[in-house]
């Protein structure tokens, strides 16, 4: 698989999942696909990381899951953002923004 | 119960997860096929990318909140399986750890029981004892003046109480009874937190003795026994040491004073009583002071305050308080009081703590060795686990859980063992000092159980560490390629070291036990130097019948005369001291020929007429004290042969004068006594004695012991003595009566006790060390079965194999023995002060230990080696 692996910062995966799922209910496979597409193939999440994260977020009450039929007629587990999850997303986004700005600032002055 | 419900939900969650992941894979395959791959290739690609369905599932499980619980369950199940596969090792480990923790916990509960428990009935917490020292030497107590200063100056110690030990004779219509008791301050009961079962404590006016008369509080026991629990006890008139007094209170049941050994039954107001008996300021000394730490004040803060108070008092009263320092110690530490157990016992217990700790080390080394041997066989299993994706942390966690399971089982066994042995030991310990039965409470409580648990945890870590380190470092490949028993390495250096450690410590314990045992047998074989049979010691208290020294002396003479005429009595004498070393009446004083010389030390005591005759001795020269010695005649003394030889070698001692301690008049030697152990068994081989005449040194009313030599049965003489005493004065109670043999036995019990325990521990550790060596050798042999098979197939005889295996084992035995004997020599020196009459290099002890250990070690190597050396080579090679 010729995918460039980018090591995700601890906790970043949670933010990405919450962001992707915020756009509408998705099942696990779709979350992985969407992440790949949106990041233009830069972010490739292994199932061994994706599913533990999904289950963790569900357990914390940020995602809620339900089984429903897909377009192919099979049952899949769809994850959806809860209102607590939305608040968490906002928090993580602003945290990330602050971090990114700070890093950018440091990189600029270092030049 | 969220964890439990999570566990029940697990089944459903697992099914869902399986479905979810399957969907993911199928979806992936579908996408890949639609991207143009063939179904086969697509399926393989999807599976590779998944990286293993089980691993993903495992990681999801671990991310759940109840995950640790599941993991623990799996690991525990795994560990149980592992242990069941080698039941011998598991059982041995549990048994060993259980025994050693049990033994150790027993000792701990004894130390704890004696050194940290408050006396019965003392309910107050945060109590501290103010002890004092002068020039760093412990001082018997505080003056009343100082006590008042502490009470007014201190802000950290609240409501300090003062009490002074005393003896009381309680005279009732039914008879006279001798009791221990104390003169106490008003706040005594409130500070100690002792409620009164009846009545009340002392008031200020009662302590000032302004017209209200002497009052007393009695113990619950005296109320039940002497007053038959009379409801109208409060206000009853009694005679206390000859003074009319009124009972105003009954202390709570069980309370017998703040010291474990007190057995106090009567309490009177300190100031009032001291004034009543006409004692000046000196009557107040020495006082014991106990107070309560003020809320929020630490012991250190109280200590620093009392350092300041000590200096202030030194400045204010330089004559009395020079270099006097007050030390604040937790009361519970001092609750043991000045009993034999508290004084010598703490040393014995310290020795035992060391011994039991050594056994813990032996056992941990042993179990570590077993685990190591087991881990060696399991190296292949470990390798397989690694290759299947187990993490190092996971493997070590598994080992740790196995260790914890062993320790858990051992801990349960240890607690049962400790409770059982504590009861047993409390039963063995005789009443330490007669008349003050020591209520030993050795029952383990939660602290003891926690201690055992802590020990079990430490043991777990100690014995899991070695296999864990090995598992951590292990390479995978060589073990996968080899068969189960293919690779034979020699015994590891670690395992050999552990065997040596065990053996060395076992030698140390055995020699210590041997020395102690020899010491006790020397005691039983050693004569005190006088006739101990048919001699009864009768201690009486004269406090109720004699108001002063002179009337006391007259009373003693009258008692002696009456006792002499009692049926069956051959001769009678009296002395304050008894042949028992820790007895407080024996005093070691400086003696010399004249003031210009350096002084020797001798035991000095006053005795009545016919003292030597009663002991079955006659003076070697001169005479002994007779009823004709008068106070007016010149002060006379009898010295023993040792002292006479030391002071006047080769010359007659009779008629010479002797200087005693400062302030004592010069005495003339009127007789020389044979050498005998008049003060009982001690550490000295040739003690010096000086006897003074009791008639010339009238003693204050108090306890006095009559030595009665009799003929006939003890059953007949005891009541005859009682009747004789009553005939003279019914106010003279008998404090206690025992034979001289019993007194001597009580004198030596600490040593008997310590050697009994030492022998038990040593036998235990020898067994453990032997089992350990056996187990390690046996395991090693079994592991090398194939190796032996090959050797036999190549022509080695079973005898050759056997001797090779035994020599291999004995090499370590030799090293262990050598180190052990070196350690023992050091320990023997330390023991010398405790043990009677042995040298630390007692040859018999060392030879016996050597023989015992060598045989044990030989057996431990021989038995397993023999079974393997006789193996059928074909079977050995086919194994695996």
Q: What tens digit of pLDDT does each residue of B510-519 get?
A: 887 777 777 6
Instruction: Name the most confidently modeled range: B100-104, B117-121, B580-584.
Output: B100-104
A-chain residues near B45 (CB < 8 A): 1
Interface test with A, best of B6, B13, B29, B63 (most A CBs within 10 A): B63
If one compares B155 and B518, the residue with the highest pLDDT of the two is B155
Q: Is the pLDDT of residue B764 over 90?
A: no
Beta bridge partners of A81: A63
User: Is the pLDDT reported for residue B145 higher than 80?
Assistant: yes
Return the biggest CA–CA distance within chain B: 134
Supply B399's token pair: 């080992």
| pLDDT at B750 (0 to 100) | 59
Note the pLDDT of residue A86.
92
Q: Does the beta-carbon distance from A29 to B51 stay under 8 Å?
A: no
Closest approach of A54 to chain B, Cα-based (Å): 9
pLDDT attached to residue B341: 42
The residue among B60, B62, B64, B391 with the most chain A CBs within 10 A of its CB, best to mutate, is B60
Contacts of A49 in chain B (CB under 8 A): 59
Q: How far is B1 from chain A (nearest CA, A)?
A: 17
The CA distance from A72 to the nearest CA of chain B, in Å, is 10
Please count the structural domains in chain A.
1
CB < 8 Å to B49, chain A = 1, 46-47
* Domain around A16: 12-110
CB–CB contact B26 A74 (8 Å): yes
- The answer on pLDDT for B172 being more than 70 is yes
State mean pLDDT over B817-826: 85
Specify the CATH number for the domain of residue A96: 1.10.10.10
| A72/B30 Cβ within 8 A | yes
Nearest to A29 among B23, B51, B64 (CB): B23
On average, the pLDDT of chain B sits at 79
| Low-confidence winner among B198-202, B215-219, B872-876 (lowest mean pLDDT) | B872-876
In terms of CA atoms, which chain B residue is nearest residue A48? Answer: B56
> How distant, in Å, are the alpha carbons of A91, B114, B250, B465, B753 from that of B443?
59, 11, 28, 33, 19
Whose tokens are 């309680």? That residue is B170
The pLDDT value recorded for residue B249 is 94
Domain map of chain B by residue range? 2-65, 68-117+341-487, 127-334, 495-528+747-880, 535-746
- CB-based contact, B49 to chain A, within 8 Å: yes
Q: Tell me, yes or no, if B34 comes closer than 8 A to chain A by beta carbon.
A: no
Please, which pLDDT band fits residue B427 given cuts at 50, 70 and 90?
low
Q: Is the pLDDT of residue B437 over 50?
A: no
All residues of chain A having their beta carbon less than 8 Å from the beta carbon of residue B51 are 46-48
Interatomic CA distance for residues B71 and B18, integer angstroms:
19
Which run of H or of E encompasses B637? strand B636-640
Phi, psi angles (nearest 5°) of residue B138: -60, 140
The rounded distance, in Å, linking the Cα atoms of B2 and B257 is 52
Give the residue from chain A lying closest to B62, CA to CA.
A52
Q: How far is B42 from chain A (nearest CA, A)?
A: 12
* Minimum mean pLDDT range among B188-202, B293-307, B312-326: B312-326
Which A positions 65-84 lie with beta carbon below 8 A of chain B? 67, 72, 74-77
- Give the minimum alpha-carbon distance from A96 to chain B in angstroms, rounded to a whole number: 23
Tokens of B447: 């602290």
Q: Tell if the CB–CB gap between A51 and B21 is shorter than 8 Å.
A: yes
A20's tokens: 């992707």
Alpha-carbon torsion, ordered B546, B548, B553, B555, to 10 deg: -20
A11 compared with B491, residue with greater pLDDT: A11
- Closest residue to A52, CB basis, from B16, B63, B65: B63
Provide the 8-state DSSP code for B125: S
Nearest chain A residue to B23 by CA: give it.
A76
Is B91's pLDDT higher than 80? yes
How confident is the model at residue B436, as a pLDDT? 37
- Report pLDDT for B343: 46
CB distance B64–A55 less than 8 Å? yes
- Tokens representing residue B213 in the block: 């008369």
Q: Is B19 on the interface with A (CB under 8 A)?
A: yes
The residues pairing with B738 across neighbouring beta strands, listed in sequence order, are B537
Q: With contacts defined as CB-CB under 8 Å, which chain B residues touch A46?
A: 49, 51
Alpha carbons B727 and B187: distance in angstroms, whole number: 41
Any idea which of B433-447, B722-736, B850-864 has the lowest mean pLDDT? B433-447
**Which region holds residue B651: left if phi is over 0, alpha if psi is between -120 and 50, else beta?**
beta
The Cα B857–Cα B851 span in angstroms is: 10
Taking the C-alpha atoms of residue B486 and residue B790, their distance in angstroms, rounded to an integer, is: 11
Give the pLDDT confidence of B449-499 residue by residue, as tens digits: 787 788 888 877 877 877 777 777 766 656 555 554 444 454 566 777 777
Which of B800, B595, B572 is CA-nearest to residue B704? B572
Higher pLDDT, B446 or A106: A106
What pLDDT was estimated at residue B116? 63
Give the end-to-end CA distance of chain A in Å, rounded to a whole number: 36
Residues in chain B with CB shorter than 8 Å from the CB of A53 are 63
pLDDT > 90 in chain B, percent: 14
pLDDT bucket at B708, cuts 50 / 70 / 90: very high
Q: What is the rounded CA–CA span in Å between residue B335 and residue B346? A: 13
Give the largest CA-CA distance in chain A.
Answer: 56
Among the ranges given (B31-40, B48-57, B140-149), the one the predictor scored with the smallest mean pLDDT:
B48-57
Per-residue burial over A53-81, b if 16 or more Cβ lie within 10 Å, else e, is bbbbbbeeebbebeeeeeeeeeebbbbeb
Please, which pLDDT band fits residue B269 given cuts at 50, 70 and 90?
very high
Q: Quick one: pLDDT at residue B261?
A: 62
Query: How does pLDDT run across B524-548, given as a tens digit for each residue?
Result: 666 778 888 899 998 888 888 888 8
Facing residues of B601 across strands? B590
- Whether residue B560 is predicted with pLDDT greater than 70 in this model: the reply is yes
Structure tokens at B134: 């002068």
Q: How confident is the model at residue B444 (pLDDT cuts 50, 70, 90)?
A: low
Q: Which residues of B786-808 are buried (b: 16+ CB within 10 A; e: fewer)?
A: bbbbebbeeeeebeebbeebbeb
pLDDT digits (tens, 9 = 90+) for B710-745: 998 888 888 888 889 888 988 888 777 788 887 777
Q: Tally C-beta pairs within 8 A across A and B.
A: 59
Provide the pLDDT for residue B106: 78
Instruction: Please check the confidence at residue A1 and state whether its pLDDT lies above 50.
Output: no
Asked if residue A5 is part of any domain, the answer here is no
State the best of A11, A14, A31, A55 to mutate against chain B, taking most chain B CBs within 10 Å: A55
Mean of the pLDDT values across residues B333-339?
57
Task: Decide if pLDDT at B243 tops 90.
Answer: no
Mean of pLDDT values over B181-200:
91
Predicted confidence at residue B223, as pLDDT, reads: 92
**What pLDDT is stored for residue B308 in this prediction?**
92
pTM of the full predicted structure? 0.57
**What 8-state DSSP symbol labels residue B50?**
H
CA distances from B780 to B185, B403, B416, B492, B809 (A): 71, 21, 34, 10, 11
Chain A residues close to B19, C-beta within 8 Å: 75, 77
| Chain A residues with beta carbon closer than 8 angstroms to that of B41 | none
Checking if the pLDDT of B347 tops 70, the result is no
**Residue B94: its pLDDT value, please?**
86
Nearest by CB: B20 against A1, A56, A77: A77
Q: The sheet that has A63-69: what strands, in order across it? A: A26-27, A75-81, A63-69
Q: Across the interface, do B62 and A52 touch by the CB < 8 Å criterion?
A: yes
Judge whether A76 lies within some domain.
Answer: yes
CA distance A14 to chain B (A): 13
Give dist(CA B54, CA B239) in Å, integer.
Answer: 90
- pLDDT (average), residues B670-682: 84
Check whether B392 has a pLDDT greater than 70: yes
pLDDT class of B417 with cuts at 50, 70, 90: confident
Q: Mind telling me how many Å the CA of B66 is from chain A's nearest CA?
A: 11
Q: Which residues of A touch B28 (CB under 8 A)?
A: 29
**Tokens 């003690």 found at:** B687
pLDDT of residue B525: 62
With CA atoms as reference, the chain A residue closest to B50 would be: A47
Q: Contact A51/B59, CB-based, under 8 Å?
A: yes
pLDDT score of B236 more than 80: yes
Chain A: nearest CA to B22, how far in angstroms? 10
**Contact across the interface for A48 and B24, Cβ inside 8 Å:** no
Which residues in chain A are contacts of B42 at CB distance < 8 A? none
- Percent of chain B having pLDDT more than 70? 81
Most confident of B275-289, B653-667, B732-746: B653-667
């Amino acid at each position: 698989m010729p995918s460039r692996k980018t090591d995700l910062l601890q906790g970043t995966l949670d933010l990405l999942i919450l962001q992707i799922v915020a756009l509408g209910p998705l099942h696990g496979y779709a979350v992985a696909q969407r992440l790949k597409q949106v990041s233009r193939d830069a972010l490739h999440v292994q199932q061994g990381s994706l599913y533990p994260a999904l289950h963790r977020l569900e357990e914390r009450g940020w995602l809620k899951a339900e089984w429903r039929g897909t377009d192919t007629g099979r049952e899949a587990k769809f994850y959806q953002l809860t209102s607590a999850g939305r608040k968490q997303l906002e928090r993580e986004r602003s945290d990330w923004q602050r971090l990114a700005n700070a890093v950018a600032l440091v990189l600029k002055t270092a030049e | 119960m969220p964890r439990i419900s999570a566990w029940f939900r697990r089944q459903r969650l697992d099914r869902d997860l399986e479905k979810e992941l399957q969907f993911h894979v199928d979806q992936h395959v579908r996408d890949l096929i639609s991207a143009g791959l063939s179904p086969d290739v697509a399926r393989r690609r999807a599976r590779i990318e998944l990286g293993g369905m089980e691993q993903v599932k495992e990681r999801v499980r671990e991310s759940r909140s109840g995950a640790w619980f599941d993991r623990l369950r799996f690991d525990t199940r795994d560990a149980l399986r592992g242990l069941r596969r080698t039941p011998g090792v598991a059982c041995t480990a549990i048994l060993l750890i259980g025994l050693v923790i049990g033994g150790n916990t027993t000792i701990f509960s004894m130390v704890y029981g004696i050194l940290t428990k408050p006396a019965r009935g003392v309910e107050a917490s945060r109590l501290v004892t103010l002890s004092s020292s002068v020039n760093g030497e412990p001082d018997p107590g505080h003056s009343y003046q100082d006590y008042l200063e502490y009470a007014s100056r201190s802000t950290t110690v609240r409501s300090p109480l003062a009490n002074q030990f005393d003896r009381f004779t309680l005279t009732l219509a039914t008879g006279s009874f001798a009791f221990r008791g104390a003169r106490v301050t008003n706040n005594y009961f409130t500070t100690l937190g002792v409620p009164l079962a009846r009545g009340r404590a002392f008031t200020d006016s009662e302590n000032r003795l302004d017209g209200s008369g002497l009052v007393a509080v009695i113990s619950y026991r005296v109320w039940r026994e002497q007053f038959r629990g009379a409801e109208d006890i409060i206000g009853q008139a009694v005679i206390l040491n000859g003074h009319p007094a009124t009972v105003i209170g009954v202390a709570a049941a069980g309370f017998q004073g703040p010291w474990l050994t007190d057995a106090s039954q009567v309490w009177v107001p300190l100031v009032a009583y001291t004034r009543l008996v006409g004692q000046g300021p000196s009557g107040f000394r020495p006082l014991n002071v106990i107070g309560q730490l003020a809320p929020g004040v630490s012991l250190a803060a109280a200590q620093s305050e009392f350092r300041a108070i000590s200096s202030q008092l030194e400045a204010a009263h330089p004559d009395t308080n020079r270099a006097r320092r007050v030390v604040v110690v937790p009361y519970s530490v001092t609750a043991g009081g000045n009993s034999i157990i508290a004084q010598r016992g703490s040393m014995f217990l310290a020795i035992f703590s060391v011994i039991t700790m050594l056994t813990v080390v032996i056992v941990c080394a042993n179990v570590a060795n077993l685990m190591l041997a087991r881990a060696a066989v399991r190296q292949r299993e470990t390798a397989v686990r690694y290759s299947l994706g187990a993490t190092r942390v996971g493997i070590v966690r598994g080992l740790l859980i196995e260790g914890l399971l062993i320790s858990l089982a051992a801990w349960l066994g240890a607690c049962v063992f400790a409770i059982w042995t504590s009861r047993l030991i409390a039963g063995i310990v005789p009443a330490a000092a007669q008349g003050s039965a020591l209520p030993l409470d050795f029952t383990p409580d939660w602290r003891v159980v926690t201690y055992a648990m802590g020990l079990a945890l430490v043991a777990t870590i100690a014995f899991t560490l070695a296999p864990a380190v090995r598992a951590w470092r292990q390479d995978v490949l060589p073990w996968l390629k080899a068969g189960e028993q293919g690779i034979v390495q020699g015994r590891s250096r670690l395992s050999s070291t552990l065997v040596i450690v065990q053996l060395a410590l076992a030698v140390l314990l055995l020699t210590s036990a041997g020395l102690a045992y020899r010491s006790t047998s020397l005691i039983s074989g050693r004569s005190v130097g006088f006739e101990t049979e048919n001699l009864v010691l009768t201690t009486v208290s004269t406090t109720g019948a004699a108001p002063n020294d002179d009337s006391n002396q007259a009373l003693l003479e009258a008692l002696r005369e009456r006792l002499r005429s009692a049926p069956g009595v051959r001769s009678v004498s009296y002395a304050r001291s008894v042949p028992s070393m820790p007895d407080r009446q024996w005093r070691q004083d400086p003696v010399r020929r004249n003031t210009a010389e350096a002084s020797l030390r001798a035991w000095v005591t006053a005795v009545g007429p016919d003292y030597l005759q009663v002991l079955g001795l006659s003076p070697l020269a001169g005479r002994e004290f007779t009823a004709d010695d008068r106070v007016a005649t010149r002060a006379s003394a009898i010295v023993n042969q040792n002292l006479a030889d030391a002071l006047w070698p080769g010359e007659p001692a009779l008629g010479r004068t002797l200087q005693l301690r400062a302030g004592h008049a010069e005495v003339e030697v009127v007789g020389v006594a044979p050498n005998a152990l008049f003060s009982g068994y001690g550490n000295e081989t040739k003690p010096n004695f000086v006897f003074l005449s009791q008639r010339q040194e009238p003693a204050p009313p108090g306890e006095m012991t009559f030595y009665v030599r009799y003929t006939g049965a003890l059953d007949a003489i005891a009541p005859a003595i009682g009747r004789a005493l009553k005939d003279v004065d019914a106010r003279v109670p008998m404090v206690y009566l025992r034979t001289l043999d019993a007194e001597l036995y009580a004198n030596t019990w600490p040593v008997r006790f310590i050697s009994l325990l030492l022998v038990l521990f040593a036998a235990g550790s020898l067994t453990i060390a032997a089992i350990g060596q056996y187990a390690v050798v046996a395991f090693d042999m079994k592991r090398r079965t194939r190796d032996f098979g090959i050797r036999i197939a190549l022509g080695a005889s079973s005898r050759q194999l056997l001797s090779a295996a035994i020599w291999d084992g004995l090499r370590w035995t030799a090293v262990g023995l050598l180190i052990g004997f070196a350690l023992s020599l050091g320990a023997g020196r330390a023991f010398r002060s405790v043990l009677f009459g042995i040298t630390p290099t007692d040859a018999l002890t060392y030879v016996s230990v050597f023989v015992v250990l060598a045989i044990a070690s030989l057996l431990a190597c021989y038995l397993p080696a023999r079974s393997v050396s006789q193996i059928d080579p074909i079977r050995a090679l086919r194994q695996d």
